[in-house]
């Protein structure tokens, strides 16, 4: 094993020699004297952290420039990788090479007065500029959700983003037209065309960066491994059964003592675990696939899943944190587990002894424990398809699915209660199957099976929903660990969550009262921000 490695930041090679495996990238950069105004000194992830840009791959397996939070990134995970910073973009500008993102921020000094805040904005704008899928006004909030600051001028921020991303989409449209005229349309669709004519655009038109097989030992003999195959991963787990699996490392294993860090195994390099595979009757979601990649592929066919994925953390966190890591943490307030239960998903776990499938609803054992056995690791999340033929075979005509998260704030807010619901209706509008799941109300993500059973055979009406509310209330109060789902919760907080449980089920019905699958908007969002408005409208379409 080696005790040193390198990574590249803004074109400069950084050498790491014997640093602790549990050190963050932000801490290392701060000690190297990197960063203006000490922005890498103990940055708060709950205020947007200290983002950088990483050359990575997207959900389609193509090169992508992703923002990541250096405060939530373990140093060994960037071994051999390429990164860029807002500071680096400023240095380029001093040499006459001003990036469009920096140019627009410089033109609006009022947008943010602190460098840490400006750096977060520059990074978010830089990433968004190269996103092919950032086409609608409603996506701007998701791209900028890490730009939290008391000194930010959010209206100017949105104006800058609208202008920049509109220009990006215009250039992308022109490049597509040029490719079609040259008979090169396939190359454009495959992402093989250099759209912007700069260094970064050339990287995106190139090959996908693949993390190499890597092993590292620090001065205290603690180990870090980054295998490239599932077999090698399983062998390492058999050799080190107490090893900690590191996906996106966004949790940073909080609360663990240093002697628990003897061996870390990263799933970053296992390509099969980062991929999504499309089958006739289901999807296989690799456990190491970041949330952003999952949303890029499944956000449209599974709108409720896409909705909760976009509400998780912020963009920099979603670009790194993995679905397998979220489930493996076993958190009682896990925000994504309820929708996976409502989608009837299963977890596939593997070891050298074989594999087994576990319904997500039965994967959690409470108080952070899961059904994982020693030397097992989550390999895939299996997501069923709900096609018309599948529903017909089950005697159903339509499936309605939705999820809700009640949190103190939209960005970087842990949900007090997250709920997910699904019902399948027959041709007469009667409920044939139901899934109701919550997190934040018990010592594990919890499925209310008694309430589901009470719905079966009933018509999809307001009276039906009101009729099962007493059953739901009793079931939640008797759920495992219901009186203290989170440490320190008092009786009034529990009562508030119990009321949320009831309110969210009612909201589900009122958003889908017709039972035809089409939701009713309960608010004025569309009138205010017009989320479906294109950022760029081709002249022929005006």
Give the domain CATH number at 466: 3.30.390.50
Identify whether residues 66 and 183 lie together within a single domain. Answer: yes
335 lies in a domain? yes
83 sits in which H/E element: strand 82-84
Q: How far apart are CA 487 and CA 240, in angstroms?
A: 31
Q: Supply the pLDDT for residue 253.
A: 42
542 lies in a domain? no
Bridge partners for 8 per DSSP: 13, 82
Q: In this structure, what is the dihedral angle of CA atoms 477, 482, 483, 489, given to the nearest 10 degrees?
A: -130
Identify whether residues 331 and 186 lie together within a single domain. Answer: no
337 sits in which H/E element: helix 337-342
Tens digits of residue pLDDT in 498-537: 899 999 999 999 999 988 767 887 765 665 567 889 999 9
Identify whether residues 195 and 220 lie together within a single domain. Answer: no
Identify whether residues 496 and 409 lie together within a single domain. Answer: yes
349 sits in which H/E element: strand 346-351
**Does residue 159 register a pLDDT over 70?**
yes
243 lies in a domain? yes
The CATH number of the domain holding residue 310 is 3.30.465.10
Q: Are 514 and 475 in contact (CB under 8 A)?
A: no
Give the residue-averaged pLDDT of 76-102. Answer: 96
Q: Are 247 and 322 in contact (CB under 8 A)?
A: yes
Q: Which of 155, 185, 204 delimits the end of a domain?
A: 204
Q: Please, is 212 exposed, middle or buried when counting C-beta atoms within 10 Å of its C-beta (0-12, 13-18, 19+)?
A: exposed
Q: What three-state secondary structure class fits 9?
A: strand
Give the residue-averaged pLDDT of 460-481. Answer: 96
Q: Supply the pLDDT for residue 150.
A: 85
429 lies in a domain? yes
Identify whether residues 312 and 444 lie together within a single domain. Answer: no
Per-residue tokens: 219:
């001065």
**Does residue 209 register a pLDDT over 50?**
yes
**Closest-CA residue to 219 (of 258, 267, 265, 266):** 258
Give the residue-averaged pLDDT of 120-142. Answer: 96
**Does residue 132 register a pLDDT over 70?**
yes
Q: How far from 327 is each of 20, 271, 400, 443, 484, CA to CA, in Å? A: 26, 19, 24, 14, 21
Read off the pTM: 0.94
523 lies in a domain? no
Q: Which of 182, 204, 226 delimits the end of a domain?
A: 204
Identify whether residues 381 and 393 lie together within a single domain. Answer: no
15 lies in a domain? no
Identify whether residues 461 and 353 lie together within a single domain. Answer: no
Angle at 178 between CA 175 and CA 184, to 5 degrees: 100
Give the residue-averaged pLDDT of 87-92. Answer: 97
Q: Supply the pLDDT for residue 261.
A: 74
Beta-carbon count within 10 A of 94 CB: 8
Q: Supply the pLDDT for residue 260.
A: 60
Identify whether residues 286 and 255 lie together within a single domain. Answer: yes
- The domain tally of the chain equals 3
Long-range contacts of range 350-354, CB-CB < 8 Å, 24 or more positions apart? Answer: 350/230, 350/234, 350/376, 350/377, 350/379, 351/234, 351/237, 351/238, 351/375, 351/376, 351/377, 352/234, 352/235, 352/237, 352/238
Q: Which of 366, 385, 404 delimits the end of a domain?
A: 385
Identify whether residues 54 and 185 lie together within a single domain. Answer: yes
Percent of the chain with pLDDT over 90: 81
Tens digits of residue pLDDT in 12-41: 999 999 999 989 999 999 999 999 999 999
Give the residue-averaged pLDDT of 454-476. Answer: 97
526 lies in a domain? no
Q: Please, is 226 exposed, middle or buried when counting C-beta atoms within 10 Å of its C-beta (0-12, 13-18, 19+)?
A: buried
**Closest-CA residue to 104 (of 129, 84, 83, 87):** 129
Identify whether residues 299 and 435 lie together within a single domain. Answer: no
Residue with tokens 């001028």: 153
Q: Supply the pLDDT for residue 216.
A: 97
Tens digits of residue pLDDT in 391-432: 999 999 999 999 999 987 777 777 789 999 999 999 999 999
Beta-carbon count within 10 A of 60 CB: 15
Which of 105-109, 221-225, 331-335 is the least confident region? Answer: 331-335
Q: Are 198 and 185 in contact (CB under 8 A)?
A: no
Beta-carbon count within 10 A of 196 CB: 18
Mean pLDDT of all residues belonging to the chain: 92
Q: Please, is 17 exposed, middle or buried when counting C-beta atoms within 10 Å of its C-beta (0-12, 13-18, 19+)?
A: exposed
Q: What does 475-535 look like in DSSP terms, one character per residue?
A: HHHTSTTTT-SSTT--HHHHHHHHHHHHHHHHHHHHHSTTSSSPPPP-SSHHHHH-TT-BS
Q: Provide the domain limits for residue 487.
A: 389-511
Q: Supply the pLDDT for residue 80.
A: 96
Give the residue-averaged pLDDT of 196-212. Answer: 91
Identify whether residues 400 and 377 lie together within a single domain. Answer: no
Residue with tokens 């696939």: 289
Sign of the dihedral defined by the CA atoms of residues 523, 525, 527, 531, in that order: negative
Identify whether residues 96 and 123 lie together within a single domain. Answer: yes
41 lies in a domain? yes
Sign of the dihedral defined by the CA atoms of residues 119, 120, 121, 124, in that order: positive
Of the pLDDT bands very low, low, confident and very high (cuts 50, 70, 90), residue 250 is low
């Amino acid at each position: 094993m080696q005790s040193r490695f390198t990574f590249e930041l803004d074109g400069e090679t950084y050498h790491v020699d014997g640093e602790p495996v549990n050190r963050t990238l932000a801490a290392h950069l701060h000690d190297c004297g990197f960063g203006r105004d000490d922005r890498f000194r103990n940055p708060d992830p709950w205020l947007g952290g200290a983002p950088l840009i990483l050359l990575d791959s997207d959900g389609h397996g193509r090169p992508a420039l992703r923002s990541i939070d250096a405060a939530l990134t373990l140093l060994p995970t960037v071994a051999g990788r390429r990164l860029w910073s807002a500071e680096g973009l400023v240095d380029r500008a001093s040499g006459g090479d001003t990036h469009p993102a920096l140019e627009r921020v410089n033109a609006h000094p009022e947008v943010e007065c602190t460098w840490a805040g400006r750096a977060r904005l520059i990074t978010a704008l830089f990433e968004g500029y190269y996103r092919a899928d950032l086409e609608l006004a409603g996506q701007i909030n998701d791209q900028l959700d890490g730009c939290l600051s008391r000194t930010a001028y959010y209206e100017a921020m949105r104006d800058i983003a609208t202008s920049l991303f509109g220009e990006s989409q215009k250039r992308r449209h022109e490049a597509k037209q040029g490719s079609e005229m040259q008979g090169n349309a396939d190359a454009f669709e495959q992402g093989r065309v250099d759209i912007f004519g700069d260094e970064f655009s050339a990287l995106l038109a190139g090959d996908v960066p693949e993390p190499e097989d890597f092993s590292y030992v620090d001065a205290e003999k603690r180990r870090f491994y980054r295998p490239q195959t599932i077999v090698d991963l399983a062998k390492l787990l058999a050799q080190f059964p107490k090893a900690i699996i590191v996906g996106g490392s966004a949790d940073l294993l909080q609360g663990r003592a240093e002697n628990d860090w003897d061996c870390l195994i990263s799933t970053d390099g296992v390509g099969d675990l980062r991929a999504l595979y499309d089958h006739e009757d289901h999807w296989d979601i690799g456990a190491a696939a970041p949330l952003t990649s999952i949303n890029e592929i499944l956000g449209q066919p599974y709108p409720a899943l896409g909705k909760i994925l976009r509400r998780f953390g912020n963009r920099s966190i979603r670009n790194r944190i993995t679905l397998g890591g979220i489930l493996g943490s076993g958190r009682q307030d896990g925000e994504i587990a309820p929708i996976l239960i409502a989608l009837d998903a299963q977890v596939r776990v593997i070891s050298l002894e074989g594999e087994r499938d576990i319904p997500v609803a039965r994967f959690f054992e409470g108080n952070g424990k899961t059904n994982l056995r020693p030397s097992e690791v989550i390999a895939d999340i299996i997501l069923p398809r709900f096609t018309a033929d599948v529903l017909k075979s089950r005697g159903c005509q339509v499936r309605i699915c939705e999820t809700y998260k009640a949190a103190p704030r939209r960005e970087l807010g842990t949900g007090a209660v997250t709920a997910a619901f699904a019902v399948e209706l027959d041709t007469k509008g009667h409920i044939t199957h139901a899934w109701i799941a919550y997190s934040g109300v018990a010592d594990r993500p919890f499925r209310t099976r008694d309430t589901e059973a009470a719905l079966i055979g009933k018509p999809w009406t307001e009276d039906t929903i009101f009729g099962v509310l007493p059953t739901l209330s009793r079931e939640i109060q008797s759920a495992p660990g219901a009186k203290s789902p989170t440490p320190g919760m008092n009786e009034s907080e529990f009562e508030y969550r119990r009321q949320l449980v009831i309110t969210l089920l009612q909201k589900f019905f009122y958003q889908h009262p017709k039972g035809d699958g089409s939701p009713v908007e309960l608010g004025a969002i569309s009138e205010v921000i017009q989320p479906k408005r294109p950022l760029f409208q081709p002249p022929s379409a005006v």
